Amino acid sequence: MSDEILVKTEHLKKYFPVRKSGGGKAFVKAVDDVTLEIGRGETVGLVGESGSGKTTIAKMILGLLPPTENTIYIDGKNVWDRKNTKEIRKKVGAVFQDPASSLNPRSTVYRSLERPLLINGCSKGEAETLIRETAAKVNLGKELLERFPYELSGGQQQRVSIARAIMLRPRLLVLDEPTSALDVSVQAQTLNELLNLQQEYGMSYLFITHNLSVVRYMSDRICVMYGGKVMESGKMADVYENCVHPYTFGLMSSVPPLHPRQRDRKKYLLTGDMPSLIDAPEGCRFCTRCKFRQPVCESQEPAMKDMGDGHFAACHFAGEIEF
Ligand SMILES: Nc1ncnc2c1ncn2[C@@H]1O[C@H](COP(=O)(O)OP(=O)(O)OP(=O)(O)O)[C@@H](O)[C@H]1O
Ligand code: SF4
Ligand SMILES: [Mg+2]
């Protein structure tokens, strides 16, 4: 594994067993053959409609949900090898959408921040120094440390979650819709603070969101998921300005263009819903909604095509379709 790569996973799968309505067992193919790399100090944006498998990937990377097949390496260490658990826990942090649910309502902010430090072997004094330093970094006023979560605004609660996630100075921060529950005015401020923290500590981010404008602002690279599979990935600017997958084109059509000269570009409005992942289509997962589909799309799964310069797309006709 190259030194530049912090997180690597190949052909990762997560199948959830479920009971079929008529009896018998079936599997929800929530993450199905996903290959992903995150470089050091890099932000990879993971986007896709609800149910496309984003959180499931995040939980596997964080060591919270075991993969069905294959594994994840962080700094060359297998996340799912128990002898690495302690070391990996220090290297990853996570921030989720709803800060209130990830904070203990009966603990003050200070106690919530202190607990993981003590568990990781810090003395009370070391913990205090770290807490004060980190609270200042995330603009969490000293006076808030003795409050309870319900006494804080949503933005302040999310700052506590961010402080807790970076307390042990992780190499990777997994951010799953970190600003979706916040007021618009607080969103922009939180995103900028996250960018500053990344610069200061050189962390890598896996940034998960539905919001394409946010992902464009935050990410170096983007990975577009649909129905448990990666549809397209590459450098943010390449994918944003030159997407080659019909699904990405559909998603991109829903956000305003960056340049006024692109205002007249064609749009492709996505209609319909994602099919059930229990009976996922045999060929291309997107074929039930794709207006460019051909007979081959229904029977054969498209391979990942290399479009050059780290840009990949899983479409039989990638690069041939005129959008
Ligand atoms: N424990 C579980 N058992 C069965 N199915 C599950 C389980 N957890 C998730 N799923 C299914 O796996 C698929 C992917 O879910 P996931 O939460 O990863 O999607 P997501 O992309 O994060 O969606 P959202 O944008 O709504 O957060 C969905 O079909 C979901 O219903
Ligand atoms: S493989 Fe076929 S159905 Fe799938 S995105 Fe490409 S054109 Fe559409
Ligand atoms: Mg999710």
For ligand 1, atom 10, the nearest C-alpha belongs to 30
The CATH number covering residue 11 comes to 3.40.50.300
Place of tokens 């059509």: 253
Note the pLDDT of residue 262: 64
DSSP 171: S
Q: How far is 43 from 236, CA to CA, in rounded Å?
A: 10
Beta strands, E only, 236-320: 305-308, 311-313
Q: How far is 246 from 122, CA to CA, in rounded Å?
A: 51
Query: Which listed ligand is nearest to 48 at the C-alpha?
Result: 1
Two tokens, residue 260: 């006024």
Decide whether any atom of ligand 2 lies within 6 Å of the 290 Cβ: yes
Task: For residue 172, give the 3-state DSSP assignment.
Answer: strand
The length of the chain, given as a count of residues: 323
Nearest Cα to 19, choosing from 30, 7, 27, 10? Answer: 27
Decide whether any atom of ligand 2 lies within 6 Å of the 315 Cβ: yes
Q: Please count the structural domains in the chain.
A: 1
In a domain, 151, yes or no: no
Amino acid letter, 218: M
User: Pairing relation of β-strands 172-176 and 43-47?
Assistant: unpaired
In a domain, 208, yes or no: yes
In a domain, 189, yes or no: yes
Note the pLDDT of residue 310: 96
In a domain, 287, yes or no: yes
Ligand 2 pocket test, candidate residues 317, 321, 323, most atoms within 8 A of CB: 317
Non-local (6+) Cβ contacts of 169 within 8 A are: 201
- Is residue 208 within 8 Å of residue 38, measured between CB atoms? no
Return the bridge partners of 43, or none. Answer: 205
> What distance in angstroms lies between residue 16's CA and the mean position of ligand 1's atoms?
9
For residue 224, give Cα distances in angstroms to 143, 177, 234, 241: 41, 15, 9, 14
In a domain, 18, yes or no: yes
Tell me the residue range of the domain where 37 lies: 5-99+173-313
Ligand 2 pocket test, candidate residues 243, 288, 293, most atoms within 8 A of CB: 293
> What distance in angstroms lies between residue 211's CA and the mean position of ligand 1's atoms?
18
Please give the number of the atom of ligand 2 that sits closest to the Cα of 284: 4
Non-local (6+) Cβ contacts of 273 within 8 A are: none
- Is residue 247 within 8 Å of residue 317, measured between CB atoms? no
Decide whether any atom of ligand 2 lies within 6 Å of the 287 Cβ: yes
What is the model's pTM?
0.95
Task: For residue 13, give the 3-state DSSP assignment.
Answer: strand
Decide whether any atom of ligand 1 lies within 6 Å of the 18 Cβ: yes
In a domain, 181, yes or no: yes
> What distance in angstroms lies between residue 261's CA and the mean position of ligand 1's atoms?
38
Please give the number of the atom of ligand 1 that sits closest to the Cα of 277: 29
Nearest Cα to 181, choosing from 154, 143, 141? Answer: 154
Note the pLDDT of residue 23: 83
* Series of mean pLDDT values for 10-residue runs along the chain (323 residues): 87 94 88 97 96 97 97 97 93 92 90 93 96 95 95 94 95 96 91 96 96 93 97 96 95 76 72 86 92 96 97 97 89
